[in-house]
């Protein structure tokens, strides 16, 4: 065949990208521009030329790893950065953290980690930073013990959490705090929810085995399956056909604990992206209606996409749960699932950027929003109906204390015992702590209407 002269577009897509530079840019988006890590990462990976897609896993590992160990890596970087880099050079700062992360947590040959990281400065169009990166990374290798001593002396660095959150968790969980912090810094398992309308869990496990994907059932639920190693969803048998979804086991309690029955009308009040909505429909066939509400229009679209994949139906509404006058048709509900916005401190292992993005001043605002949502929705519940309050938080102020003050404000509300087989009972409701039985941190409480 006659060779054709290469087109410019092809040439550029064949130019190898530097995965470290891409990871540094993603980290910069989070630490400087307060972006969500998953959104910034997806955007960067989508922009990779087709010939470079193989670098995606490495970029993801480095971006997540740096944010997981951010407070520790920052303490080390400070030892050798004579002065902070300028705002416009925070990508170089992030690249230094990427270099340190490789040296501490990845099985990359040391010289390769240093050389590739130094070279990434050129990819970021800042070759002047090469000497600086080289000097810092080599100093770390020479004086690792000094770095270890620094880490040991600073709790934020040792546990890789911000001081304020460390203090909250120590105070609230005096017997468990070290285990919680360690679990927060683990890589989370990939957990699936088998759609029981289509097949049994045992049958799906056999299909995974056939596909060469090692997995085991999680015994505290009837539907959860944990993979030995995460895989892209496109490799999961039947994912596109809605036979299985990705959802942590602790989140899979919601549909069961809501205790809805055929013939009932149910509101899923903070529903997006629709993980629990889908599970509810799989778990309880024959509901008269399931209304899935969320305040964010773009997120309501995600509920619709998820339900389309599962071939299930719900009425989706964009509206504010705290102000039902704007969207409620006046017909009461038998069940309310109220999975409120929260600190998300129970899912830090999945979203390590929470440790950077969340601020102590967010907590009073979140607690106020949760109370407004609960109060706003309460009149929508039929007498004899049940409200399931859910958070992915481990902070009592968002959990049992929130429920306690709700019960104090509403004479017609009483706590209903939950048949939980995981976690621990609190003064009100149940708490699963992060990492407990391989699960995310979740809180559940059920409130009945007299």
Ligand X SMILES: C[S@@+](CC[C@H](N)C(=O)[O-])C[C@H]1O[C@@H](n2cnc3c(N)ncnc32)[C@H](O)[C@@H]1O
Residue with tokens 């891409």: 22
Report the residue number, 274 or 352, with the smaller CB distance to ligand X.
Answer: 274
To the nearest whole angstrom, how small is the minimum distance from the Cβ of residue 373 to ligand X? 5
| CB-count burial class (<10 Å; 0-12, 13-18, 19+) for 332 | middle
- Interface segment toward ligand X; rule CB under 6 A; list 66-74, 190-198, 219-227, 292-300: 292-300
- Active-site pick, 136, 270, 342, 392: 392
Report whether 19 contacts 58 (CB < 8 A): yes
Binding range to ligand X, per CB under 6 A, among 123-131, 264-272, 280-288, 360-368: 264-272
Q: Name the residue nearer to ligand X (CB basis): 243 or 294.
A: 294
Q: What are the two backbone dihedrals, phi and then psi, of residue 445, each rounded to the nearest 5 degrees?
A: -145, 145
CA distance 278 to 184: 27
- Enclosing H/E stretch for 227: strand 224-227
Residue 231: burial class (beta carbons within 10 Å; 0-12, 13-18, 19+):
middle
Q: Is 374 in the site for ligand X (CB under 6 A)?
A: no
DSSP type of residue 187: P
For residues 68 and 351, give the distance between their C-alpha atoms in angstroms, rounded to a whole number: 8
Q: Pick the stretch among 82-90, 126-134, 265-273, 427-435 that binds ligand X (CB under 6 A).
A: 265-273
Q: Does 339 bind ligand X (CB under 6 A)?
A: yes
Nearer to ligand X, 296 or 375 (CB): 296
Considering only residues 295 to 324 of the shown chain, the ones binding ligand X according to CB under 6 A are: 295-296, 299, 320-322
The dihedral built from the CA positions of residue 21, 26, 30 and 33, taken in this order, carries a sign that is positive
Whether the ω angle into residue 205 lies within 30 degrees of 0, i.e. cis, is: no
Number of shown-chain residues binding ligand X (CB under 6 A)? 18
In angstroms, give the least distance from the CB of 323 to ligand X. 8
**Residue from the set 29, 91, 243, 294 that interacts with ligand X by CB under 6 A:** 294
CA distance 335 to 235: 36
Distances (CA, A) of 230 to 109, 255, 384: 24, 24, 43
Single out the residue of 55, 133, 224, 293 in contact with ligand X (rule: CB under 6 A): 293
Of 1 and 325, which has the nearer Cβ to ligand X?
325
Determine contact, residues 290/280, Cβ cutoff 8 Å: yes
Contact track, ligand X, 223-262, x by CB under 6 A: ----------------------------------------
Q: Which is nearer to ligand X, 18 or 391 (CB)?
A: 391
Q: Outline where DSSP puts E strands in 358-425.
A: 381-391, 413-416, 424-425
CB of 344 to ligand X, least distance (A): 7
* Minimal distance, residue 293 CB to ligand X, in Å: 6
The Cα 52–Cα 59 span in angstroms is 11
Q: Are 373 and 403 in contact (CB under 8 A)?
A: no
User: Of 126-155, which residues contact ligand X (CB under 6 A)?
Assistant: none
Nearest-approach distance from CB 204 to ligand X, in angstroms: 21
Say whether 136 is catalytic.
Answer: no
Between CA 293 and CA 274 the distance in angstroms is: 10
In which residue are the tokens 């955007």 written?
A: 43
Q: Between residues 275 and 385, which has the closer beta carbon with respect to ligand X?
A: 275
Give the shortest CB-324-to-ligand X separation in angstroms.
10
Query: Which of 188, 275, 396, 429 lies at the binding interface for ligand X (CB under 6 A)?
Result: 275
Which residues are near ligand X by CB under 6 A?
Answer: 270-276, 293-296, 299, 320-322, 339, 341, 373
Active site residues: 392
């Amino acid at each position: 065949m006659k060779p054709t002269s290469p087109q410019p577009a092809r040439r550029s897509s064949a130019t190898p990208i530097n995965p470290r530079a891409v990871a540094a840019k993603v980290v910069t988006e989070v630490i400087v521009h307060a972006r969500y890590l998953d959104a910034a990462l997806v955007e960067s990976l989508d922009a990779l030329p087709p010939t470079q897609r193989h670098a995606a896993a490495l970029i993801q590992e480095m971006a997540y790893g740096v944010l997981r160990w951010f407070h520790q890596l920052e303490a080390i970087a400070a030892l050798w950065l004579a002065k902070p880099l300028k705002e416009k050079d925070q990508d170089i700062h992030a690249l230094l953290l990427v270099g340190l992360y490789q040296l501490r947590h990845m099985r990359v040959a040391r010289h390769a980690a240093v050389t590739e990281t130094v070279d990434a400065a050129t990819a970021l169009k800042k070759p002047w930073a090469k000497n600086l990166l080289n000097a810092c990374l080599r100093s770390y290798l020479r004086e690792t013990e000094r770095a270890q001593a620094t880490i040991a002396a600073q709790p934020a660095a040792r546990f890789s959490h911000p001081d304020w959150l460390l203090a909250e968790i120590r105070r609230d969980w005096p017997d468990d705090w070290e285990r919680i912090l360690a679990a927060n810094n683990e890589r989370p398992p990939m957990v699936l929810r088998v759609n029981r309308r289509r097949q049994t869990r045992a049958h799906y496990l056999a299909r995974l085995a056939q596909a060469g994907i090692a997995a085991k059932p999680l015994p505290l639920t009837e539907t959860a399956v944990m993979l030995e190693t995460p895989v892209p969803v496109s490799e999961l048998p039947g994912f596109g056909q809605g036979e299985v979804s990705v959802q942590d086991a602790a989140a899979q309690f919601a549909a069961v604990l809501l205790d809805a029955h055929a013939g009932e009308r149910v509101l899923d009040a903070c529903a997006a992206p629709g993980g629990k909505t889908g599970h509810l429909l799989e778990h309880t066939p024959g509901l008269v209606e399931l209304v899935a509400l969320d305040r964010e229009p773009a997120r309501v679209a995600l509920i619709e996409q998820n339900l389309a994949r599962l071939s299930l139906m719900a009425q989706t509404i964009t509206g504010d749960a705290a102000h039902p006058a704007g969207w409620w048709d006046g017909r009461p509900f038998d069940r309310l699932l109220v999975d409120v916005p929260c600190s998300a401190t129970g899912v830090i292992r999945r979203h390590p950027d929470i440790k950077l993005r969340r601020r102590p001043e967010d907590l009073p605002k979140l607690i106020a929003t949760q109370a407004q949502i609960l109060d706003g929705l309460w009149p929508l519940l039929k007498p004899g109906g049940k409200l399931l309050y859910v958070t992915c938080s481990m902070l009592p102020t968002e959990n049992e204390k929130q429920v306690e003050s709700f019960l104090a404000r509403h004479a017609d509300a009483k706590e209903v015992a939950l048949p939980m087989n995981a976690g621990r009972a609190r003064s009100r409701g149940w708490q699963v702590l992060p990492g407990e039985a391989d699960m995310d941190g979740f809180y559940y409480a059920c409130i009945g209407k007299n």
